[in-house]
Amino acid sequence: MLVVLTDGAVSGLAAWLATLAIGGAAATWRARRRSGRRRLVPYLPVLVAVVLTGTVCVPSVPTDRQYPAALPFVATQRWELSTGSQVAVYHYPPAPGSPRRDVPLAYLHGGPVRGIAVLDHRFLQLLARHGYDVYAYEHAGGGRSGLLPLEQYSIDRSVQDFTAFVDHLDKGPVDVLGFSAGGDVLARALADAPVAARVHKAIIAEPGPMDGPTALLAGHKGQPSARDFAPAMRGPRSTHVPRYAVAFGLMRLGLLSPDSTLVRQAEGDNAFTAADLGSDTASAYCARDAHRIPEEDTAENFSFSPAASMQIQQTIKDSPSIATGLRRSGTPTMLMVAQCSSQVRQWATTILAEDPAIERTQFMPEVGHHMWNGLDDNNDKAFAVIDTFLQGKPAPLPNYPKRSDIANFLQEGL
């Protein structure tokens, strides 16, 4: 109770020392009428509390941010954006001999506030092998990008950083692929005319909620994911350590604020592991793939900021509707929806209903939320959908659902 009331002040010591003082006083009161060794018995719970205090209040990982090591297959550039964010940038130039595309392609990864997984890097390499000039950056606080003060994380700041990134690139309007939380950023960019002017063509893949009203929607999802069927992910978990189990658990319950001083942002980033996201990872795959989920990332490259992520998600929930701005969008856009999506369907169909510039929707069969996952020929299928849209060629899949299909699409539960 005191940890919650003090918001974890001084790494939880304020709450725990007060508890120990009360416990010690109570033990002394109980021991006053006892003699010999029996006088020590009331102090045993206090001793146990001292041990528990150490497990919750003493960090077991560095408290200064420990960034992932450099990737062996791509150089990490570091750009300081006009917003003040310092972001890690990765460039995959067109492969020699490939048909070079005139417009650069920017990738907005999922998360929010994660690093770009090795699995996604492989898909970006596939795009480059087919002539695309691919740029990707890790959002502030994620991966190898610099941290922000926690109060500065917001969905609006994410859009501002995207704008500053395109301006820093200085190659004119760019094609943009926004996946999951990156799709949220892209949708909000399209609803802001000055930002949308920097986008040549947009692909929104498996978006989350784009604003507060959308975040309130619930109900329809895709076909069953592997969430309840996949074996538990192996590897160390921060939530097996009392300090981080208490901190992250209370944050998830809303009893501690993301900027709680129980576990500060940098320490939380260092502590969090891929295994902590096990069920979320499994939810990105179809149930039939439950026993062959690929390794999305390496332990050396994995990065996730739980506090910053919750902060951004809260700003989305608190934001007003962007529907009016989206209705004015004129940027050619494609929507990608997975059959086994763990996302609420209305998060995607609301964008489809409000954005008149969506030219086609591609319903991706037999894949989950993480559509380019390296299984079977899923990467090639995703590439074909993306490539034909950006090149203005006929789509490999039916244009479904269209706006007129939304009601039936939701009822069918595909």
User: In 10 A of CB 195, how many CB atoms?
Assistant: 20
Contacts of 91 (CB under 8 A, 6+ apart): 74, 75, 77, 134, 135
pTM of the complete model = 0.91
What is the arithmetic mean of pLDDT over 31-42?
82
Summarize pLDDT for 301-312 with one digit per residue, the tens: 999 999 999 999
Helix (H) or strand (E) holding 156: helix 155-169
Summarize pLDDT for 343-391 with one digit per residue, the tens: 999 999 999 999 999 999 999 999 999 999 999 999 999 999 999 999 9
CB 105 within 8 A of CB 135: yes
Q: How far apart are CA 111 and CA 161, in angstroms?
A: 15
Give the SS3 label for residue 33: coil
Model confidence at 414, pLDDT cuts 50, 70, 90, reads: low
Would the pLDDT of 51 be above 80? no
What is the arithmetic mean of pLDDT over 120-137?
97
Summarize pLDDT for 206-222 with one digit per residue, the tens: 999 999 999 999 888 88
Model confidence at 413, pLDDT cuts 50, 70, 90, reads: low
